[in-house]
A = this chain, B = another copy of it.
Amino acid sequence: MNRILFNAEELDADGRATFGGVRAEHVLTVLHGEVGQTLKTGVVNGPIGTGVIERIDGEMVTVKCVHDREAPPPWIDLILAPPRPRAMKRLLPQLAAMGVGRIVLVGAAKVEKAFWGAQLLKEAIYRPLLVDGLMQAGTTALPTIQIERAFGRWLDGGRFEEDFAGQQVRIVAHPDALSTKHQALSTCRPVLAIGPEGGWTDDEVARLEAHGFRRMSLGPRILRTDTATIALLARLMPEADAFSNTTKET
């Protein structure tokens, strides 16, 4: 945890929060928290800043926070044909940490049907994983998860174009791409589509291309979905984003 995050409702009008659980445990055992110590803090989907420990009561910690800075905004959206729940569970915090805004989970042909029954799809299960990723990264923008099991209907029925109106930089991960270079990134937020473990079908790729998606590969090596996702995000990450928030932390 590089920043302790609170839900807005955990903070009182003076910016004070009292908390236990894994966050308090981290403060007490990893950060060796003591009264008077300053922590990096923030609000989920809100600003960042610092909090001073006011009180430690057994396993409960009280901090008083000043959150006066913007957190780095998300810079990319993802259309993801989900890998197996175990891989997905590892991937989710990493997606949040890397600055993904929207995650649309789609039922591509080769997604295992069992996936759609996974516990992981419940907000109560996936939200803490995403918040873990944000606390690791020190950011606050919580990715949204949207489930579109009927992928084709969503893509071609008008709802995809509605959901991503104005986001014309569209990239589909594909081993046969002509380039490992991405399109010149403009000011608009790119949308990256990543297929299932077995890959997109030819039909799926054709339909994505009909919506303006261009192929991008990672070269001759075939990477696991989770590795490929991180690698593609890293290659697409614009320089500009990297510097949107570089003023060194106090």
Select from chain B the residue with minimum beta-carbon distance to A227: B94
Residue pair A222, B2 in contact (C-beta under 8 Å): yes
Are A219 and B234 in contact (CB-based, < 8 A)?
Answer: no
Which one, B136, B219, B227, contacts A222 given CB within 8 A?
B136
Q: Provide the main secondary structure of the chain A interface.
A: loop
| Interface residue stretch chosen among A58-66, A153-161, A176-184 | A176-184
One of B181, B231, B243, B246 near A239 (C-beta < 8 A) = B181
Residues of B within 8 Å of A218, CB to CB, are 234, 237, 242
State how many copies of this chain the complex holds. Answer: 2
> Looking across the interface, which residue of chain B has its beta carbon closest to that of A242?
B219
Over the window 206-250 of chain A, the binary record of Cβ atoms lying under 8 Å from chain B Cβ atoms (1 yes, 0 no) is 000000000001111111100100111111010101111110110
- Residues in B with CB closer than 8 Å to A94 are 223-224, 227
Task: Please determine whether A224 and B136 come into contact, CB atoms closer than 8 angstroms.
Answer: yes
Residues of B within 8 A of A237 (CB): 180, 218-219, 231, 235
Residue A46 is within 8 A (CB to CB) of chain B in the complex = no
Give chain B nearest CB distance to A115 CB in angstroms: 17
State the CA gap A37–B178 with chains docked (Å). 29
Q: Mark A113-138, 1 if CB is under 8 A from B, else 0.
A: 00000000000000000000000111
18 A–B pairs (Cβ distance < 8 Å), ordered by A: A94-B223, A94-B224, A97-B221, A97-B223, A97-B227, A98-B231, A137-B222, A137-B223, A138-B222, A139-B220, A178-B249, A219-B242, A219-B246, A220-B244, A230-B231, A230-B234, A234-B235, A235-B237
